[in-house]
A and B are shown apart, each in its own frame.
Chain A
Amino acid sequence: MATLLLARRHTWLSLPLIVGLAVVGFWLLATLLAPQMTAFDPLDMVARRLQPPSWQHWLGTDALGRDVLARTLHGARHSLPIAVVVVSVAVAIGAMLGAVSGFLGGQVDNAIMRLVDITLSFPPMLLAMAVAASLGPGLGNATIAMVIVWWPVYARLMRAQVLEVREREHVEAAVAAGASRPRILLKHILPLCWTPVLISATMDLGQVILLAASLSFIGLGATPPTPEWGSMISDGAAQFYSWWVAFGPGLAILTIVLGFNFIGDALHDHFDPRSK
C-alpha cells in the first residue's frame, strides 16, 4: 500500500501536467486580464494593414490594421467561457439522462439510448453545422448547437458507470436497509460514477474550443468584428501571403487544446491507473 502511494505520488506531477497547467493557466489569465495584458484595443485600427511582426506589434496586424496579439488574447474571453458552458451543460444533461437510463433500464433506457445513438451517428461537425445554420449565426446559437452535439457522449459514459456500480454489494445492502430508489441512485451510486466523466470533460474542453473555432471559421459562430479565434483564422486564410494573421489564433488553439489534453491525460493516469 505504501509503495503504491509513493509510486502514485511520483507520477502525479508529470511534465505534461505541468506544461498543461501552465498553458491553460496562461489562457485563463488572458480571459480575465486581456485588456491589461496588451496596449491595444482588439477592435481599433491601430496601424497600417498587414504589417509583419515587429517590436511594436509582436504578431503583426491584420487586413484592417488591428493588432493580432491583442485580438488573440481577447479571443480567449470568448472561447474559454463558451467551452466551459458547453461542457458543463452537456455534462449536466448527459449525466442526468445517462444515470436515469442506466438505473431504470427497460423502456426508459431504450428511449434515451436510441436518442443518443441517433445523435452520435452524425459526424459531430456536420450536426453542429446543421443545428447552428438552422438557428442562425452568433456565438449563443453555436453554444446551443454544441451542447446538442455533445451531451450524448456523457449520457453513454454515465450509463455505463451506473450499470457497473449498481451491481455492487453496497447498493444491495442499501436496498436491504430500506433506502428508496431515488436515494440509492443519488447517494450510493452517483458519487462513485463521476471520475471518468470528469476526466472526459477536461479533455473535451479543448475539443469544444476547436469545434467552436471551426463553426466560426465557416461563419456559423462569431460574427465580425468579434475577435474569435476561428473567424480570425478565416480572415488569415484570405490573406495567404501574410502568414502572421492566422498564426496567432492558430497557436492559441493549438496550445489550449494540447494543454487540456495533457491535464486530462494526467487525471486519467492518476484516477484510473489500470486502463493505461
Chain B
Amino acid sequence: MIPATENAPLFEVRDLRVAFGRAGVSLEAVRGISLTVDHGEVLGIVGESGSGKSIGMLGALGLQPDSARVSGSVRFKGQELVGLPRRELRKLRGARIGMIFQDPLSSLNPVMTIGAQIAEALLLHNETLSARAALERAEELLTLVAIPQPDRRLRQYPHEFSGGMRQRVMIAMAVANDPDLLIADEPTTALDVTVQAQIMEVLADLRRRLDIGLILITHDLGVLAGHADRVAVVYAGEIVEQASVDDLFARPGHPYTRGLIASIPDMSVERDRLNSIEGTPPPLGQLPGGCAFHPRCPLAQEICRASAPPIRGRAEHIAACHFADLPEGSTR
C-alpha cells in the first residue's frame, strides 16, 4: 500500500467521469466532477434524481455497475482508487470508508440477525477478532447509535426493526471499523420527517466524536442547511456550484441553485403553490449544447446556447454560469 502522503486531503476527487455503454455509443452520467473532503468536514452533494450524484460516489469507490466505466482520479489519503485492484478496494471499503444507503428497509440481509450482520462487518476487516468480541463490539456500536436494549436487539432480525432503527443499524455497521470517511447516500429519504432529524443528529454526533469526513448525498437542500459545512450542487453530471453552506444560501451564484433554494417551502409565507424549477433534467445522451441548464434557465441568453460556461469565482465559492456574479480570483 502506498504510504499516506502528509498534507494530502482525506478524500480528493479530480475530474471524475462515469460513462455507460459500449464502444461507440457512450453516455456520460458523470461529466468531470472535482471535490475534496477533510477530516471532520461535512460535504453535501445536492442534485435532482438522475443528476449523477449517487453514481458518481459509487464510481469513486468502484461500486459502479459492470456496464459503467470510471475515469479521472480519486485519492483517499493520497492513495489512488481508480484502477485499484478489487482486493485492495475491498480492504478499504467498510474499513476505512463506510457507506450508508438510501433504503434501510432493503439494505439489511433479511435472514441474518442484526448482531450477526454487525459482527460480519467487523470480522471482514479484522481476522484476529473472536466472534464473541465482535458481538460485544456490536453491542457497543448499537449503544453508540442510540438503540435501546442493545443486548436484546442484537438477536433480532431486520423485520423486527422500524425504518429509523434500521438506518441506525446501517450507520452502526458503516462506522464499525472506525472509518475515516463516511458516504451517506440519501440516508434520510426513506424515513419520516421526525425520524430524519434523529438520524441526522446521530450522524452529526458521530462526525464530531470520531472526527470522520462525511459526504452527504441528498436531493433535499433543506437537509443540508443545518448539517453540512460545504455544498456541491450537481446538475446533469457536473458540479455547477460549490460553496460553504452559509455562502451558498446567502449568495447563490448559479440560477439552478437559486431555483433549488426557492423551492424549499417557506412556512412563514402563505402561498397557494410551491415554487419549482420548470422542466426536467435532460436525459442521458440528449444534453443540450452550451450550458446544460439553459433550456430551464430563466436567465438564458444566446451565449448559453452557444458555449459552455466557464467556472467563475474563487476556490471557496465557484459557479459554472456565464452570469455568475461572484468575487473573481484564481479559478481552480
Decide: A172 and B109 in contact? CB cutoff 8 A.
no
B91 CB-CB contact with A under 8 Å:
yes
Contact yes or no, B124 A177, CB < 8 A: yes
- Check if B92 sits within 8 Å of A170, measured CB to CB: no
The reply to whether A172 and B63 contact each other, CB–CB distance below 8 Å, is yes
Decide if A188 is an interface residue (CB 8 Å cutoff).
Answer: yes
* Contact of A178 with B110 at beta-carbon distance under 8 Å, contacts A169-B103, A172-B101, A173-B170 already known: no
* B99 lies within 8 A of A176 (CB): yes
**CB-CB under 8 A for A178 and B91, given A172-B63, A172-B101, A173-B99:** yes
Task: Write the chain B residue with the least CB distance to A168.
Answer: B106
A48 in contact (CB, < 8 A): no
| Residues on B with beta carbons closer than 8 Å to the beta carbon of A131 | none
Q: In the complex, what's the smallest C-beta–C-beta distance from B59 to chain A, in angstroms? A: 13
Give the distance to chain B from A242, nearest Cβ to Cβ, in Å.
56
Give the residues in chain A near B103, CB-CB below 8 Å: 169
CA distance A127 to B92 in the complex (A): 51
Is A180 among interface residues, defined by CB-CB distance under 8 A?
A: yes
Interface pair A170/B106, CB less than 8 Å apart: yes
Whether B107 lies near A169 (C-beta < 8 A) is yes
B95 touches A178 (CB 8 A): yes
A170 CA to B170 CA, complexed, in Å: 10
**A179 x B120 contact (CB < 8 A):** yes
Interface residues on A, range: 10 to 19
Q: Which of A177-202 contact B (CB under 8 A)?
A: 177-180, 183, 187-188, 191-192
Chain B binding surface SS class: loop
Q: A178-B124, A179-B120, A187-B120 are in contact. Are A173 and B93 (CB under 8 A)?
A: no
Instruction: Specify which chain A residues have a CB less than 8 angstroms from the CB of B107 in the assembled complex.
Output: 169-170, 172-173
A168, A177, A188, A192: which contacts B93 (Cβ < 8 A)?
Answer: A177
* Interface pair B90/A176, CB less than 8 Å apart: no
Interface: B112 (CB within 8 A):
yes
Q: Indicate if the CB atoms of B93 and A175 lie closer than 8 Å.
A: yes
Shortest A147–chain B CB gap in Å is 29
| B248 in the interface (beta carbon within 8 A) | no
A53 and B94 alpha carbons, distance in the complex (Å) = 73
Q: Is the CB of A191 within 8 A of B111?
A: yes
Does B239 lie at the interface of the complex (its beta carbon under 8 Å from any beta carbon of A)?
Answer: no
Beta-carbon contacts of A157-179 to B below 8 Å, as 1s and 0s?
A: 00000000000111011111111
Given A172, A177, A179, A192, which contacts B110 in the complex, CB threshold below 8 Å? Answer: A192
Q: Which of B147-181 contact A (CB under 8 A)?
A: 170, 173-174
Q: Assess the A176–B63 pair: CB atoms within 8 A.
A: yes
Please determine whether B109 and A188 come into contact, CB atoms closer than 8 angstroms.
yes
Roughly how many angstroms separate A270 CA and B71 CA in the complex, as a whole number? 49
* Interface contact A192-B111, CB-CB below 8 Å: yes
Q: Which residues of B contact A192 (CB under 8 A)?
A: 110-111
Residue among B61, B63, B107 with the highest chain A CB neighbour number at 10 A: B107
Identify the closest chain A residue to B99 (Cβ). Answer: A176
Q: Is the CB of A170 within 8 A of B108?
A: yes
Cβ of B320 within 8 Å of any chain A Cβ, yes or no, is no
A177 and B108 within 8 A (CB): no
Contact partner of B101 (CB less than 8 A), chosen from A173, A180, A183, A188, is A173
Q: Is B121 an interface residue (CB 8 A)?
A: yes
CB distance from B117 to the nearest CB of A (A): 9
- Give 17 A-B contacts (CB < 8 Å), ordered by A residue: A170-B110, A174-B109, A175-B63, A176-B94, A176-B101, A177-B94, A177-B99, A177-B120, A177-B173, A178-B90, A178-B91, A178-B94, A179-B124, A187-B109, A187-B120, A188-B109, A191-B111
Chain A to chain B: the 9 pairs with minimum beta-carbon distance, closest first = A178-B94, A177-B94, A176-B99, A169-B106, A178-B93, A173-B107, A191-B111, A169-B107, A170-B109
